Structure 1
Amino acid sequence: MNDKLDMQTPNWANINTEKLAKLFPNCVTETTDGLKLDFDLLKQELTTDIVDGTKERYRLEWPGKREAIVTANLPTTKTLRPILEDSVDFDNTENIYIEGDNLEVLKLLQESYLGKIKMIYIDPPYNTGKDFVYKDNYSRDSKEEFEESGQKDEYNQRLISNPETSGRYHSNWLTMMFPRLKLGRNLLTEDGVIFISIDDNEVHNLKKLCDEIFGEMNFEGHIHWRRRHNQPNDKSKLIGLVAEHILVYAKSSDKLKLSGVGKLPLTGTFTNPDNDVRGDWASKPWKVGSDQNGSKYKITTPTGKILDEEWMGDETNYKNLLADKRIVFPNNGDGSPRKKYFKFEREEEGQCATNWWSHELFGHNQEGNSEMTELFDGRKNLFSNPKNTRLLNSIIQLANVKDGDTVLDFFSGSASTAHAIFNVNAENKSKVSFILVQIPENLEESKKGVDSKTKKQLEDCIEFLDSINKPSYLSELGKERIRRSGKKIKEEKLEHAKKEGIFADFSDDQDYGFRVYKLDESNMQDVYYKPQDYSQTTLDIFADNVKDGRSSEDLLAQVMLDWGLPLSLKIEHKKITEKEVFAVAGDSLYACFDKGIDETFAKELAKDKPLRIVFRDKGFKDDTAKENVKQLLKQLSPETEMKVL
């Protein structure tokens, strides 16, 4: 410890630079003088105008990068509308499934889930030249471009193909990924972790992109997962592809280590050849490796051989281990000493993950296909190589996801993540919740211009969805998988209880439900946001600032997002003076969108003393009632915050 006084004032430039670097890690760059802030990029973060910069620096650059930064920073006026008929146990579940462009959804989640997501897992489009990517229009004022080019469907989504022949092949992909990763980072807890699956085409660019967004110091590792259980036999290829990549970054490596990193189940072989009462054990060399430092002293083997080497611990430590029968000498006592470690100790500690994940331990693509086939009544290949749940279970365990944590997947595809979380909760009796986001990709549109194998697969998906009276969208497959996987696990637990003879006392409080939301335009009339576009004569048309066809549940969802409340909070339905009232998380938020709100209602409501109450502007009996309700609440429930839509 240095006890000397610095004898100088603090270097506020360095201090402020460190603060800004934590807020904007992507603005830290290498210079001839070391790490510095890139002020051009910092200026870009603070404006929605494109800032030009010409200074050379070490960084990942591509055409469209500044537009991507602007895209991430632009606000959105969209909202999420609940789809009750597609949901399971809507009022009580804490799981969320959202249909829509994940960029807009991530923006909507910024307040409600800022710093609340423990783990993100994504399996984004791999940019093979055949996959669709999102086309983000950062100016937001040229909708005609998308409508005329057919890039929008009924959900107002933007999907385009990205052929390898495109001059912006890599750039398009990077422009699509940058804002989503940037917004995703904001949602992570301080000890949160993100896992990103990717193939060879973009792994190099993704690594650089994540170094910039998360900070190179927060890189946790690069997992190589063998996704194929069979050996490829393609004679046209120099190297057959059997592995995929999973890049792992922490929000803050320091905070992650303080909170504890996850461990995986043991994989070593443990035996007990000397009948040690402490059980099965394995061993490791007591002699230090070539790249390690140790303590030098002499050890005599049971056969009398003297070994003068550097050892893992000092001589006192060695003698204590020897007395505790934790040192063994192989080769009938003539070999170099090894230290015992017991299976029960390692089971408590868990095992550190490596960067090579075999298909034997972590599953493979065919396993993922088989899981889907079993869930969907023997139908094969409804989805192309979905991630298997054994892989995702291990990722969840490695991230040290615990009871009460939330996992986010904003490229959810076949919803393997939800299935895996149901498995984890069933095995650990935990309550881990999920948020899944998937663009409702039109499968009929996706059939255009694809090879015959892919077309047949899409046709099978469409035929299946038609058989269950669902529209032909990819998100419908995801929702159906969640329903079926939850039902399957619930039935398996019940069957197990019957076999074990504990059926009479069996209770299952696991959350198998999920709330479905759909990204849509705001519930409020455009005049609500752009009054300058309307004359006073036009304003008279709007008797209400809420759009026609919007339900009370629609308004409640927008209120929760605007107030920064998680969408997973429990929602109860109450009746106060015959009016419908939503009670969110107990008394955290009351919402009533009925008409005829008056003083009588306010007096009854005030008895519950909610923290917040929201009404529809046109819901009051008249202007006098509106003012009286406001004053009554101030008098009878002064802690209640009142808002009006």
Structure 2
Amino acid sequence: MLNWAGKSEAYRILQAQTCKTLTPQPAKSVNFDSTENIFIEGENLDVLKVLQKSYFNSIKMIYIDPPYNTGNDFVYNDNFKQDLKDYQEQSGELDEEGRLKLAFKKNSKENGHFHSKWLNMMLPRLHLAKNLLKDDGVIFISIDDNEQAQLKLLCDEVFGEENFVVSFIWKSRQNKDNRNKTGSSNDHEYILCYSKNFEYRALRGAERNTNQYSNPDNDPRGDWTSGNMVGLLPEDQRPNCHYELINPKTGINYGKPQLGWRYDKNTMQRLIDEDRILWASHPTGRPRRKVFLSELNDEFTGFSSIIGKDIYTRNGTLEIQGLFNERSFDFPKPTLLLKQLIEQVATNTNDLVLDFFAGSGTTAHAVMQLNAEDNGNRRFICVQLPEITDEKSEAFKAGFKNIAEISKERIRRAGKQIAENHPDKQLDTGFKAFKLTDSHFKQWQSPSAENLAQQIELFVDPVRKETTPDAMLYEILLRLGLKLTAKVRSENQVFWVCDESGQQFALLLETLSADLLDLVIFAQPKKVVTLDSLFNGDDALKKNAELQMNDAGIAFFVL
């Protein structure tokens, strides 16, 4: 087991509940009402907690590119003992107006807890991510030599050592770096791959090359190629495969190879009877067997652990420059690299891909591009902290005050470009934008004897001031365990929500009357949710509604 300073605190923050929610931002979205893609602006630890109920066991593939902890970059500094806002104010992470000023806390290599701080940041996020993966889901994590060893041990603990799939090696640098004092050029990065459950095949594999198959003798069984029949083990380990092989037609004796034959006598005789042996014309030759294309069990072979041939970081940089006409983001991953990973896992219609260190938005771009190329219908959820951009950077000068704004604009521009390049296809190149905020409902605080009456008075109406029905709607969807992309329509001041299975929910968040309740009951939704304040103190109406819902078999919730 990997142990480090602060590990127990990291588990405590994993288990701590969040009072955050996701608030819709239609104005910053593209095709908000119809798209199945999601972009969330906010700190990813709280976002992952908010998504637990609605997206548990729902994600087919996760890709993340977390901070590499080089000593020059920053890592999330989760605080375990203070209220986050208090901590941020004391540490200078919030400005005078309460806006996030520093997204990360610099982690110097001179710090005695250099690796510990990074592991404390990663542990709770990986545990929460594992919960979201489907049983046959897979996670890919980009990393370099600074934390590769620690990350491997951490993932062994979180996902299980038996669920380790492969450590991909990506040659990320095209040209050698001659500045390294060691005399070597570190040209590669790693992508660790773990499955949720080893019982499922993690990766699809590479497409099998069938160019060597042909049918020169017009065999009615179709195209074939020749396969080796020489054995693999010495005679003392596999004696039943060590025998002399004789061509029954010519009498040529091929003897027995040093490692014998690949098949025992019975199997070899069956191959002879089925005319599958390609006999050599000389005793020193080696007979081979026919391998028919039609008999292959799988059209895919092993996927190489050396990934991204001729794909470099500079390709990602050029993609950004092509979309923004400037270098708006440093060291973005190339979409070609992400497409290779997505193709290996997210192969089915409606597979969901999550990236909670979204950066410039490469994962979203790759999902949309791959859908355009193979007519897929994959969807993405991307999460990015609103980390402020350096005032000297090209991104800041172009008007992008934080990384999340760059991500959203990249998805907009990439989506528009992809749609223009494929005008004959119906593609989902939009996204629903959400922002991590405080809950729209007041949070109960244990009162003292002195302020008990005040606390009760505050909760006569538990809804916060200036909260809109749309904002409450999506918080309630998450509380009910419904997806953020659930189909919603507003009719007669009722939000009608349909989940993936077709079940209907009714949310009354604006007005309420006996006639409206009758209309809702007649529609027979699975659940009805309303606000206590809408009854305006009419206890008879409230009790009658409860009884009617119960008689109709409808679950009734009052907030």
TM-score tier, shorter chain, comes to 0.7 to 0.9
C-alpha spacing 1:365/1:398, structure 2 compared with 1 (3 Å): same
Tell me what 2:555 maps to.
641
Tell me what 1:84 maps to.
26
1:521 aligns with 2:438: yes
Tell me what 1:67 maps to.
9
Tell me what 1:490 maps to.
419
Tell me what 2:312 maps to.
364
Tell me what 2:383 maps to.
437
Give 1:538 deviation, angstroms: 6.2
C-alpha spacing 1:214/1:348, structure 2 compared with 1 (3 Å): closer
Give 1:167 deviation, angstroms: 1.7
C-alpha spacing 1:400/1:317, structure 2 compared with 1 (3 Å): farther
Moved more, 75-84 or 484-493: 484-493
Tell me what 2:521 maps to.
606
Give 1:261 deviation, angstroms: 4.3
CA distance in 1: counterparts of 2:553 and 2:27, whole angstroms: 36
CA distance in 2: counterparts of 1:332 and 1:399, whole angstroms: 48
The letter for the 2-side match of 1:643 is F
The letter for the 2-side match of 1:460 is E
CA distance in 2: counterparts of 1:144 and 1:241, whole angstroms: 41
Identity %: 35
The letter for the 1-side match of 2:514 is E
CA distance in 2: counterparts of 1:207 and 1:67, whole angstroms: 21
Give 1:233 deviation, angstroms: 4.0
What does residue range 467-616 of structure 1 map to in structure 2 within 5 Å? 471-494=400-423, 497=424, 508-526=425-443, 528-532=444-448, 534-537=451-454, 540=457, 544-575=461-492, 579-585=493-499, 587-595=503-511, 597-616=512-531
C-alpha spacing 1:226/1:283, structure 2 compared with 1 (3 Å): farther
C-alpha spacing 1:349/1:142, structure 2 compared with 1 (3 Å): closer
The letter for the 2-side match of 1:218 is N
CA distance in 2: counterparts of 1:581 and 1:273, whole angstroms: 64
C-alpha spacing 1:515/1:335, structure 2 compared with 1 (3 Å): farther
> Structure with the greater relative contact order (CA < 8 A, sep ≥ 6): 1 or 2?
2
Question: Which among 75, 93, 96 is matched to residue 38 of structure 2?
Answer: 96
1:630 aligns with 2:559: no
- Is 1:87–1:516's contact at 8 Å kept on the other side of the alignment? yes
What does residue range 102-501 of structure 1 map to in structure 2 within 5 Å? 102-141=44-83, 143-152=85-94, 154=98, 156=100, 158-234=103-179, 236-254=181-199, 256-257=200-201, 261-266=203-208, 270=212, 272=214, 274=216, 284-289=227-232, 295-299=241-245, 306-309=254-257, 310-318=260-268, 321=271, 335-339=285-289, 341=291, 349-360=299-310, 363-376=311-324, 379-399=325-345, 401-444=347-390, 455=392, 459-464=393-398, 466=399, 471-494=400-423, 497=424
- Is 1:264–1:397's contact at 8 Å kept on the other side of the alignment? no
Three-state SS of the structure 2 residue aligned to 1:195 is: strand
Tell me what 1:451 maps to.
none
CA distance in 1: counterparts of 2:281 and 2:184, whole angstroms: 42
CA distance in 2: counterparts of 1:175 and 1:68, whole angstroms: 5
- Is 2:254–2:285's contact at 8 Å kept on the other side of the alignment? no
C-alpha spacing 1:304/1:225, structure 2 compared with 1 (3 Å): farther
C-alpha spacing 1:423/1:535, structure 2 compared with 1 (3 Å): same
C-alpha spacing 1:537/1:367, structure 2 compared with 1 (3 Å): closer
Moved more, 381-390 or 272-281: 272-281
The letter for the 2-side match of 1:435 is I
The letter for the 1-side match of 2:395 is C
CA distance in 1: counterparts of 2:151 and 2:30, whole angstroms: 36
C-alpha spacing 1:477/1:143, structure 2 compared with 1 (3 Å): closer
Give 1:375 deviation, angstroms: 2.7
Tell me what 1:23 maps to.
none
- Is 1:120–1:409's contact at 8 Å kept on the other side of the alignment? yes
- Is 2:205–2:300's contact at 8 Å kept on the other side of the alignment? yes
Tell me what 1:18 maps to.
none
What are the superposed Cα offsets for residues 491-540 of structure 1, whole Å, 9 maximum, x if unpaired?
A: 2222xx4xxxxxxxxxx4432221111111111224x4555584424654
CA distance in 2: counterparts of 1:391 and 1:407, whole angstroms: 15
The letter for the 1-side match of 2:476 is V
Moved more, 609-618 or 620-629: 620-629
Moved more, 308-317 or 330-339: 330-339
- Is 1:227–1:359's contact at 8 Å kept on the other side of the alignment? no
What are the superposed Cα offsets for residues 352-396 of structure 1, whole Å, 9 maximum, x if unpaired?
A: 113222524xx32222223223333xx243222222222222212
CA distance in 1: counterparts of 2:270 and 2:336, whole angstroms: 41
CA distance in 1: counterparts of 2:366 and 2:462, whole angstroms: 43
- Is 2:208–2:299's contact at 8 Å kept on the other side of the alignment? no
Three-state SS of the structure 2 residue aligned to 1:111 is: helix
Give 1:288 deviation, angstroms: 3.2
Give 1:324 deviation, angstroms: 6.5
- Is 1:60–1:208's contact at 8 Å kept on the other side of the alignment? yes
- Is 1:269–1:282's contact at 8 Å kept on the other side of the alignment? no
CA distance in 2: counterparts of 1:112 and 1:183, whole angstroms: 13
CA distance in 2: counterparts of 1:235 and 1:61, whole angstroms: 32
Give the alignment's Cα RMSD to 1 decimal. Answer: 3.1
If each structure's helix is expressed as a fraction of its own residues, which one has the higher value? 1
CA distance in 1: counterparts of 2:440 and 2:126, whole angstroms: 28
- Is 1:261–1:400's contact at 8 Å kept on the other side of the alignment? no
Give 1:193 deviation, angstroms: 1.3
CA distance in 2: counterparts of 1:366 and 1:345, whole angstroms: 43
Give 1:250 deviation, angstroms: 1.4
Three-state SS of the structure 1 residue aligned to 2:242 is: strand
CA distance in 2: counterparts of 1:317 and 1:230, whole angstroms: 53
CA distance in 2: counterparts of 1:357 and 1:332, whole angstroms: 43
Three-state SS of the structure 1 residue aligned to 2:140 is: strand
Moved more, 579-588 or 93-102: 579-588
Give structure 1 stretches of 5+ with no counterpart.
1-58, 448-454, 498-507
Tell me what 1:15 maps to.
none
- How many residues align? The count is 544
- Is 1:369–1:380's contact at 8 Å kept on the other side of the alignment? no
C-alpha spacing 1:485/1:339, structure 2 compared with 1 (3 Å): farther
Moved more, 332-341 or 511-520: 332-341
CA distance in 2: counterparts of 1:221 and 1:212, whole angstroms: 16
Q: TM-score, normalised by structure 1?
A: 0.77
C-alpha spacing 1:381/1:594, structure 2 compared with 1 (3 Å): same
